[in-house]
Amino acid sequence: EAGVTQSPTHLIKTRGQQATLRCSPISGHTSVYWYQQALGLGLQFLLWYDEGEERNRGNFPPRFSGRQFPNYSSELNVNALELEDSALYLCASSAPSGGSTDTQYFGPGTRLTVL
Amino acid sequence: AQSVSQHNHHVILSEAASLELGCNYSYGGTVNLFWYVQYPGQHLQLLLKYFSGDPLVKGIKGFEAEFIKSKFSFNLRKPSVQWSDTAEYFCAVKRRELTGGGNKLTFGTGTQLKVEL
């Protein structure tokens, strides 16, 4: 069974540009989560999508946005890039379980570097 | 806001030594608890999880963790570590509300374990 996949592996952008990161969940999983792993800040929750809807977002500015497609894959968009957006962006997915016992499985991440 | 604390940031052990990594969380309600591991050059992998029932849970590669509700703790243990256990270990907590605000994992800052031969 294929795991969570993310593309691209690495992304280099300059300040002010926009970045688009993509995630494909494990087959059968309907929820997708995005996390930021920045140096010194640990893993922080960004966004949660389920059945095409944004269900929850973390403490990040609105220039971090995304969407989930009908096939449950997801895109994370970061507008007006700032130097501090440089981080590893992790995507996770979970199966529909009513929420009480779901487990998140992580992809390899996209390393975003903002110059 | 809930928080997760991992008090050991760097741990160095010799092979065959016993391991215990601490994890404490601040939320007073019902939680699901997880330990994830990130081996060098690999992605975050699930080591073990606790939802309910027996507070002592066993995971992959000989790891186990004990949930002590009164101490808000979920410590990770392994009786005898191997060189291949060198990795970064993350404790994570999820509140079990079924509506609103739920489903996100709150992670600790991680513990870097180095096992020397």
Which of A98-102, B59-63, B110-114 shows the lowest per-residue confidence on average (mean pLDDT)? A98-102
d(CA B6, CA B68): 15
Grade residue A105 by pLDDT with cuts at 50, 70 and 90: very high
Instruction: Estimate to the nearest angstrom the gap between the alpha carbon of A99 and the chain centroid.
Output: 19
Rounded to a whole number, what is the largest CA-CA distance in chain B? Answer: 48
Instruction: Dihedral sign for Cα B70, B107, B83, B50, please.
Output: positive
Mean pLDDT calculated for residue range B51-62: 95
CA distances from B86 to A27, A42, B22, B65, B111 (A): 30, 19, 17, 18, 11
Tokens, residue B91 = 């404790």
Percent of chain B with pLDDT over 70: 94
Scan residues 2-41 of B and list those with Cβ closer than 8 Å to A.
Answer: 32, 34, 36
CA distance B114 to chain A (A): 19
For B102, the closest of A58, A99, A107 (CB atoms) is A99
Q: Could you tell me which chain A residue has the CA closest to the CA of B108?
A: A42
d(CA B69, CA B72): 5
CA distance A20 to chain B (A): 20
What's the pLDDT tens digit per position in B14-39? 999 999 999 999 987 888 999 999 99
Q: What are the beta bridge partners of residue A105?
A: A93
Cross-chain Cβ contact A105/B107 below 8 Å:
no
Which of A68-72, A90-94, A98-102, B65-69 shows the lowest per-residue confidence on average (mean pLDDT)? A98-102
What's the pLDDT tens digit per position in A10-45? 999 999 999 999 999 999 999 999 999 998 888 999
Is B95 within 8 Å of chain A by CB? no
**Ramachandran region of residue B50, left (φ > 0), alpha (ψ -120 to 50) or beta?**
beta
DSSP state letter for A26: P
Q: Could you tell me which chain A residue has the CA closest to the CA of B30?
A: A100
Contacts of B102 in chain A (CB under 8 A): 56, 99
pLDDT > 80? residue B103: no
**Residue A71 pLDDT:** 95
Closest among B38, B10, B23 to B116, alpha carbons compared = B10
